[in-house]
Chain A
Amino acid sequence: MASPQVTTMVERTVTLGDGRTFRCPEGDTLLRAALRAGLPATYECNSGGCGACKYILSDGGVDQINPDATGLTARDKRKGKLLACQSVPLSDCAVTLTLDAEWPEGRTRPQVAPATVTAIRELTHDLREITVRTEDVADFLPGQFAMIAVPDPEGARPVERAYSMSNLPNGEGVWQFQIKRVPGGAVSPRFVDELAVGDVVNLDGPYGHAHLQANERDVVCIAGGSGLAPMVSVARGLAGRGDAASRRLDFFYGGRREEDMCAREFVDEVSPRLAHASLAEAISEEPSRDWVGSRGFIHEVLAVAEIPDLAERDIYVAGPPIMTDAVVRHLVLERHIPVDRVHFDRFF
Chain B
Amino acid sequence: MAFELVTTLDDLWEGDMESFTVGDQEILIAHLDGGEVIATQAICPHQQIELVEGELVGKTLTCKAHLWQFDLPTCTGINPGHAELAKFPVKIDGEDIYVDPTGDTPKVAHS
Contact = CB atoms under 8 A, between A and B. Distances in A.
Interface of A: 42, 44, 50-55, 73, 75-76, 79, 81, 98, 100-101, 328-329, 332-333, 336, 338-340, 346
A52 B80 contact: no
Given A42-B48, A75-B53, A50 B65 contact: yes
24 contacts: A51-B49, A52-B49, A53-B48, A55-B48, A73-B50, A73-B53, A75-B19, A79-B21, A79-B26, A98-B47, A98-B48, A98-B108, A101-B108, A328-B66, A328-B67, A332-B69, A333-B62, A336-B79, A338-B80, A338-B81, A339-B66, A339-B68, A339-B111, A340-B80
B110 A100 contact: yes
Nearest to A100: B110
A263 B70 CA distance: 37
Contact of A52 (B52, B65, B67, B79): B65
Interface in B47-91: 47-50, 52-53, 62, 65-69, 79-81
A56 to B, nearest CB: 10
A74 to B, nearest CB: 10
Contacts of B65: 50-52, 346
Given A73-B53, A75-B53, A100-B110, A51 B67 contact: no
Contacts of B110: 100-101
B78 to A, nearest CB: 9
A193 to B, nearest CB: 34
Given A52-B65, A75-B19, A333-B67, A340 B50 contact: no
Interface string B21-32: 100001000000
A346 B65 CA distance: 9
Contacts of A100: 110
B19 A54 contact: no
Interface of B: 19, 21, 26, 47-50, 52-53, 62, 65-69, 79-81, 108, 110-111
Contacts of B81: 338
A81 B68 CA distance: 22
Contacts of A333: 62, 67
Given A100-B110, A339-B67, A340-B111, A332 B47 contact: no
A76 B48 CA distance: 10
Contacts of B21: 79
Contacts of B48: 42, 51-55, 81, 98
A100 B110 CA distance: 7
Contacts of B68: 339
Given A98-B47, A339-B111, 20 more contacts: A42-B47, A44-B47, A51-B65, A52-B48, A55-B48, A73-B50, A75-B52, A75-B53, A98-B48, A98-B108, A100-B110, A328-B66, A329-B67, A332-B69, A333-B67, A336-B79, A338-B79, A339-B79, A340-B111, A346-B65
Nearest to B111: A340
Complex A-B, nearest 3 residue pairs according to Cβ-Cβ distance, in ascending order: A54-B48, A52-B47, A332-B67
Query: Which of B48, B66, B81: most chain A CB closer than 10 A?
Result: B48
A76 B47 CA distance: 14
A76 B50 contact: yes
Contacts of A73: 50, 53
Nearest to B19: A75
Contacts of B69: 332
Contacts of A79: 21, 26
A82 to B, nearest CB: 11
Contacts of A101: 108, 110
B50 A332 contact: no
A311 to B, nearest CB: 11
Contacts of A52: 47-49, 65
Nearest to B109: A101
Nearest to A54: B48
